[in-house]
Chains A and B, each alone.
Chain A
Amino acid sequence: AQKVTQAQTEISVVEKEDVTLDCVYETRDTTYYLFWYKQPPSGELVFLIRRNSFDEQNEISGRYSWNFQKSTSSFNFTITASQVVDSAVYFCALRQRNTDKLIFGTGTRLQVFP
């Protein structure tokens, strides 16, 4: 069965701190896709990144970076030098190859204080 676990319910940091949001997934398939979405206080979900299971290269986009490790079934998200605008709920999601559905984790609420 597919499952996504985001064990951190809420994280609070002060601006300029680095923060890592954990995502652990379960799947029996060898081909799958992982995603991160951001949900700011306004409520809409914003796509951040997509990664397929064959691409284990880490990705960096500005202050955001993602660490994909198949050996530990994790796809962690790090924000460097956090800013107040990073305050949001962040969701990790998983899709297996032969389905059209995303399975979401329960989300991690990040609060960045000035």
Chain B
Amino acid sequence: NAGVTQTPKFRILKIGQSMTLQCTQDMNHNYMYWYRQDPGMGLKLIYYSVGAGITDKGEVPNGYNVSRSTTEDFPLRLELAAPSQTSVYFCASSYDPPGLDEQYFGPGTRLTVT
């Protein structure tokens, strides 16, 4: 099992550009999550999904969009990138809700918007 994979590892965007961060898990997990981690801060939930076709907003969804067309994939779309979106992005998955199952994290994508 590869676990949770994220691409790319690093990316530099110019203000106003768009991009998609890819996340794939091969553990047949129902739940998937996108977090951002700003320097010196904890993780903030952007969006999450409890299954294919179902997504919901987390704490900081503005400026992002997601889709979940398959169980395995949960891409995060940034439209009109802004410097405030400079962060490290983590994708995670779990079979059950947190509490019943741990979340498995991907290695992260470091994004810089200049």
Contact = CB atoms under 8 A, between A and B. Distances in A.
A19 interface: no
B42 A101 contact: no
Interface in A68-114: 91, 93, 95, 97, 100-102, 104-107
Interface of A: 4, 6, 9, 32-33, 35, 37, 42-47, 50, 52, 91, 93, 95, 97, 100-102, 104-107
Contact of B97 (A4, A47, A95, A106): A95
28 contacts: A4-B42, A33-B98, A33-B99, A35-B98, A42-B107, A43-B107, A44-B106, A45-B43, A45-B92, A45-B105, A47-B102, A47-B104, A52-B99, A91-B42, A95-B97, A95-B99, A97-B99, A100-B48, A100-B98, A101-B48, A102-B43, A104-B35, A104-B42, A104-B44, A105-B42, A106-B42, A107-B41, A107-B42
B110 to A, nearest CB: 8
Interface string B73-114: 000000000000000101010000111001111111000000
B99 A91 contact: no
Given A91-B42, A107-B41, A107-B42, 12 more contacts: A4-B42, A6-B42, A42-B107, A44-B107, A46-B105, A50-B102, A52-B99, A95-B98, A95-B99, A100-B97, A104-B35, A106-B41
Contacts of B97: 95, 100
Given A95-B98, A100-B31, A101-B58, A47 B103 contact: yes
Given A50-B99, A95-B99, A106-B40, A101 B45 contact: yes
Interface residues of B, number: 26
Contacts of B40: 9, 106-107
Contacts of B45: 101-102
A1 to B, nearest CB: 12
Contacts of A107: 40-42
